A and B are shown apart, each in its own frame.
Chain A
C-alpha cells in the first residue's frame, strides 16, 4: 500500500481511521495543508489527487493506495514560486496565511476545471463552456473560507492566474 505525495512514494498507515490530511500532517510532517474544521466546511485542507481537488480531511488515507497527491509543498519549482503563489503575494491574497494553501490549491484546480468546460452553480448555460467571469471564480472558490477577509486579493490573484495575466 503506497501513496505518492509530491512525486515521492510513502507507505500508507495501518490505522484505517487516519484521514489523508492527518496522515500528511502528523505522520509525514507535511504541514502545508491546513486543518480548519476537519469536516469539509472550510477548504483549508484542499489538495490535488491525480490533478483533481479534494478535501483531504474527508478522505481516509487508506483509500488512496496507488494515487498521486499534490500539496502546496509540491507546486513551487524549487525556490521559484508557482505563478499562483506569486500572484497571492503580489495581490495581498492573504493575511494570516492559514487558509492560503487551500485557496491556492483550489485556484490551481479550478483553472483546469474551467479549461475543460466544467460548469458551476453560477454558470448560466450548461450546454456551452462557462464564460470566464469573477462570479465563476468566486463560486468555485466559495468552498475555501477566509476569516481574515482577504477575499478581494484572493480573487484578484486567481483571476490574474486564470485569465493568463501572470505578472
Chain B
C-alpha cells in the first residue's frame, strides 16, 4: 500500500512549519462548533529524495495584497485622457447588416467615437488555437471587418465616451438593421451533418477490434445515452482590458492566461511585430480556460487607435456571455460489455458535439475512455456539427469533465448488473500499460487512490444492491467514480534566473497566475533547484516582455516552469563555473560536475568543496549573474510514456422525497497526480475543480434559444452556480508519489477535480432514490 498523504509533507529546514500553517487554525475554527474536523489534522512525513523540500504549504505570496483589495486587475489601470468602451451586440444569428444609424450616438454627451465595420481599421483575422503554435484566439472570425453577422451576440459597434455611463447610454441609441440569412441554431439539425472530428492534431476516432460485435456477444452489457449542456466559465472578474498606444507600443493590461501568446496573436491582427505589443496580466480574476483572446481586446485596441485615446473596455456580465466562448454541449453514448467476472470485452464511447466553422476546438470527451480501463475491443469516436453560434472553447478539464460523467455512470450501472462492487469493477479493468498506446505508465497508483478513498469515506461495498436508506423525508445514498486528467507540457517555456549580491534570486517567466498560486509554486521549485531560501526568491510573471511563451492551460504550466528552471539552472552553473577563481579546487570543473545548494556552488563529486554564491556574484563584472533557459523537448508525454493523473471521488447525497431537492453533504477525493508541490494550494485547486463540477452536476447550463441562437440566461441571476451553502467541507488527499518523468515530479492539479464528481453524485442519487440521472444538470424536476 502506498503511503497516502492527506494534505501535507515536511520541509527539511523547518519541520514544524507545516503543522502551524496547514491545520491548527482551521481545526480550531471547525472544532469551535463541535463539527467533525475531517481530514485536516493528519500529518505524514515527506517523501524523501530529490523532491524532499518541495511540498511545504507556503501561504500564497500574493495573499495579503489580495486580502487588502490592493491587487490590481486589468480594468484597474488608468491613463490620462482615458475613455470607456461599450459594445452593441447583434441580435440575429446569421445575416448581413443593412444599415447602422449612429448619428444620435455620436451626438450624445461625452461620446468620442462610434466604431463600426464601416470605419474600423483593416485587421487580419485572429489566429485561433491550433491554427499556429501561437494562436490564442477563440476563433478566426473577422473582427468588425464587414457587414456579415456570424453569431447572435457578435459585436457590431463600439462606443467610446468619457464615462462608462455615457458610453453605455450612447450604445442604446444605435440602430442596426439586418437582412437575416438561414442559420443553423439547432443541435439536432447540425448533428445530421456532423462529421468525425479532430482535436489537437489527431482524428477523434479510435477503433480496436469489433466493439459492436463484442457488445452484442457480451455476457453482461449496458448501452446508455447522455446529454450535457453548454457551460460558462463565469470567472467572477468579467473580461476587461485597458489599452494605450504610445511611442509605437500597444500597451495592454489584460486578464490573459497566456500573456505572450495573447500578445503575438493581437500583434498579428494589427500587422505589427510582437515586440510592439506590451501585454501584462499580473492578477487575473479567474481563468478556467476562458481568459484568452476574444473580440473585445481587438476592438478596444482598434478603437483606441482610431480615437487616439487610451481605452478601458470592461465587458458587462451579459457581454461575457455574448462574446467569450463556453464549453460545448454534448450528446454521448457509452456502451460497455463484459464477461461475468467484469472484464470489459467492449468499450464504446461515441457522440456528437458542436463547434463553429471558424475554430478547431472539438470537445474531446472520450479521452478518459482511451486511458482509464483495458477493454478487448474499443470504439471511440466524436462527431462535431457546425452551428451558427458563439465559438465554443476550452473550459476546465475539456473533454474529461463531461466524459468522465458518462463513462463512470456507465461503469456504475454495469457494476450493478454484474453484482460487483464498483471499485472492484474498476480494479479488475486497471490496465498494466496504456490501453490504447501500449506505452508504459510513468507512474500510476489509481488503485491506491480508490482504496484509500474508500477507507476515508467509509465506503460500504455493494454487490448489485442499493445501499441507500431513508431518514425522515430525506433519501440518502452514496456513490463513487474515478477521476482522470492527462499530463501535458507545452513547448515554449523559458525562465531567467538572476542572482543578486545579497544571496537572493529573481526568477522571471511569462507565466500566468489566475489564482492557482503560480508565483508561490515557482518560488518553491526555484528554491529547491538553486539551494536558495524560499523567502530570498522573488518571482516576476504575467508580462510578455519576460522570457517564455507559457500558457496556463491543460494543468501543464507548473511542469513547463519546472523544465524551464532546470534548463536555466544548467546555464547558470556554466556562468558560475566561469567565475570560479583559479585558486579554487572547483576551478576547471565543467558545469555538469557542479551543483548549487545552501547558497553555494559545490562539486558534485566532493560536496565539501564549495564557494558561496554571493562571492561568485561579487566577482562578476556586472554584480549580478543571470542565466536564461528554455524548457526543452516535450517528448516525455508525446512519445515516451503514458502520463495521466487519476483519482477517486466519493459522495454522499441526500434527496428530499417531497421537494426533490438534492444536497451533497460529503465529498472525499483522493488523487494520484505525482508529487504535490504545495499542499495548501493543491487542496484549494482540487476543491475548486470539485466545486465547479458540483455546479455542472446540479445547476449549471447555458440555455440556448434554438430559434435564434441566443443565450437566454446571460446573467448570474439565471445561470446558477454553487454558493457557500451548497458546498460541503471537501476532504481531499493524494498519493504524493513523484512522477519520475515530470520535471518537478508533479503532473498538474488544476483540472482533475472537475472530473469525477458528476458521476459520483449521479451514482449516489441512484443509490438514494433508484433513479438514474443521465442528463446534466440534475435538477430537482428530474427526481420528482
Interfacial residues, chain A to chain B (CB-CB below 8 A): 15, 17-18, 22, 25-26, 29, 31-42, 44, 71-73, 76, 81, 85-92, 94-101, 104, 122, 132-135, 137-139, 141-157, 159-160, 163-165, 167
**Would you list which residues of chain B between 376 and 409 have a CB under 8 Å from chain A?**
none
Q: Judge whether A96 and B236 touch: CB under 8 Å.
A: yes
Q: Judge whether B236 and A95 touch: CB under 8 Å.
A: no
- Tell me the nearest residue of chain B to A102, going by C-beta: B236
**Residue B642 interfacial (CB < 8 Å):** no
| A92-B59, A98-B286 known; A165-B235 Cβ under 8 A | no
Q: Which of B73, B84, B233, B730 contacts A98 (CB 8 A)?
A: B73
Name 12 interchain pairs, CB-CB below 8 A, sorted by A. Answer: A76-B68, A92-B683, A96-B284, A97-B62, A97-B65, A97-B515, A137-B724, A138-B723, A142-B724, A151-B727, A156-B26, A160-B29
- Chain B, residues 17-42, CB within 8 Å of chain A (1/0): the string is 00001000110111011010000000
Report the tally of A-B residue pairs with Cβ distances under 8 A. 218
**Residue B146 interfacial (CB < 8 Å):** no
Chain A residues positioned under 8 Å from B237 (CB to CB):
34, 36, 96, 98
Interfacial residues, chain B to chain A (CB-CB below 8 A): 21, 25-26, 28-30, 32-33, 35, 59-60, 62-73, 75-76, 78, 84, 163-165, 169, 233-238, 283-288, 314, 316-317, 514-517, 680-681, 683-685, 687-692, 715-717, 721-727, 729-730, 753
| A89-B64, A165-B32 known; A15-B286 Cβ under 8 A | no
- Tell me the nearest residue of chain B to A132, going by C-beta: B33
| A31-B69, A148-B515, A165-B28 known; A92-B681 Cβ under 8 A | yes
Q: Judge whether A85 and B727 touch: CB under 8 Å.
A: no
Chain B residues positioned under 8 Å from A151 (CB to CB):
687, 691, 722, 724, 727
List the 6 closest A-B pairs by CB distance, nearest first: A32-B69, A149-B688, A97-B66, A96-B515, A98-B285, A95-B515
Q: Judge whether A41 and B235 touch: CB under 8 Å.
A: no
- Tell me the nearest residue of chain A to B68, going by C-beta: A76
Chain A: interface secondary structure?
loop
| C-alpha spacing A104/B63, complex, angstroms | 13
Q: Judge whether A139 and B692 touch: CB under 8 Å.
A: no
Q: Which of A104, A133, A149 contacts B67 (CB 8 A)?
A: A104
Q: Which of B76, B236, B284, B287 contacts A99 (CB 8 A)?
A: B236
- Tell me the nearest residue of chain B to A91, going by C-beta: B26
Q: Judge whether B684 and A95 touch: CB under 8 Å.
A: yes
| C-alpha spacing A85/B70, complex, angstroms | 12
Q: Judge whether B69 and A33 touch: CB under 8 Å.
A: yes
Chain B residues positioned under 8 Å from A133 (CB to CB):
33, 35
Most buried by A among B515, B680, B692, B753: B515
Q: Judge whether B67 and A94 touch: CB under 8 Å.
A: yes
Q: Judge whether B63 and A38 touch: CB under 8 Å.
A: no
| C-alpha spacing A88/B62, complex, angstroms | 12
| C-alpha spacing A155/B233, complex, angstroms | 23
Chain A residues positioned under 8 Å from B722 (CB to CB):
151
| C-alpha spacing A72/B67, complex, angstroms | 8
Q: Judge whether B688 and A150 touch: CB under 8 Å.
A: yes
Q: Judge whether B29 and A142 touch: CB under 8 Å.
A: no
| A31-B76, A35-B238, A94-B515 known; A73-B69 Cβ under 8 A | yes
Q: Judge whether B689 and A156 touch: CB under 8 Å.
A: no
| C-alpha spacing A100/B636, complex, angstroms | 39
Chain B residues positioned under 8 Å from A97 (CB to CB):
62, 65-67, 71, 283, 285, 515
Q: Judge whether A134 and B67 touch: CB under 8 Å.
A: no
| A135-B725, A147-B236 known; A165-B25 Cβ under 8 A | yes
Chain A residues positioned under 8 Å from B33 (CB to CB):
132-134, 159, 163
| C-alpha spacing A137/B514, complex, angstroms | 27
B159 to chain A, nearest CB (A): 15
Q: Judge whether A90 and B687 touch: CB under 8 Å.
A: no
Chain B residues positioned under 8 Å from A165 (CB to CB):
25, 28-29, 32
Q: Judge whether A144 and B26 touch: CB under 8 Å.
A: no
Q: Which of B32, B164, B288, B689 contacts A159 (CB 8 A)?
A: B32
Q: Judge whether A26 and B236 touch: CB under 8 Å.
A: no
Q: Judge whether A147 and B724 touch: CB under 8 Å.
A: no
Chain B residues positioned under 8 Å from A141 (CB to CB):
724
Q: Which of A143, A149, A157 contacts B687 (CB 8 A)?
A: A149
Q: Judge whether B25 and A160 touch: CB under 8 Å.
A: yes
- Tell me the nearest residue of chain A to B64, going by C-beta: A89
| C-alpha spacing A122/B71, complex, angstroms | 34
Q: Judge whether B684 and A142 touch: CB under 8 Å.
A: no
A3 to chain B, nearest CB (A): 18
| C-alpha spacing A153/B681, complex, angstroms | 11
| C-alpha spacing A88/B319, complex, angstroms | 31
Task: Identify 7 new A-B residue pairs, CB closer than 8 A, beyond the known A98-B73, A104-B67.
Answer: A22-B164, A32-B68, A73-B68, A97-B65, A98-B235, A132-B33, A148-B688
| A29-B78, A73-B68 known; A134-B30 Cβ under 8 A | yes
- Tell me the nearest residue of chain A to B723, going by C-beta: A142
A105 to chain B, nearest CB (A): 9
Q: Judge whether A95 and B516 touch: CB under 8 Å.
A: yes
A130 to chain B, nearest CB (A): 13
